[in-house]
Amino acid sequence: MSTDDLERYEAEMELALYREYRDVVGIFKYVVETDRRFYLCNAVDVKVRSETGDAYFEVSMSDAWVWDIYRPARFAKQVKVLTFKDVNVEELSKSDIEPPKP
């Protein structure tokens, strides 16, 4: 497989992922961004933990969709993320989820 073939494959996978996102975004209430992933979900809870002195975030989500090009199953019933990095949670409004028209 050449470099061009690999780049073409990844571009096709990104486009397919975007199309899937466009199709499912309307069924979710929240957008959650961590340093490693982007999620859509219907319930989210963020807790700050500091048992060892260093603060970290425990993010629990339910009914989630994960933006990950290499993940074969992007829907997950429950997701828990532990991170020392920033976490961004936004509630979607209906006007936020109108995807651009092709």
Closest CA to 39 of 85, 90, 86: 90
75/46 Cα distance (integer angstroms): 20
Please state the rounded mean pLDDT for residues 20-42. 94
Q: What is the pLDDT of residue 93?
A: 83
pTM: 0.80
Q: Which two tokens stand for residue 99?
A: 């995807």
3-state secondary structure of 14: helix
Question: Average pLDDT for residues 35-64, to the nearest whole number?
Answer: 93
Amino acid 1: pLDDT: 74
pLDDT tens per residue, range 84-101: 999 999 999 876 555 556
Exposed, middle or buried, 64 (CB in 10 Å: 0-12/13-18/19+)? buried
What pLDDT is recorded for position 52?
A: 79
Indicate the pLDDT class of residue 65, thresholds 50, 70 and 90. Answer: very high
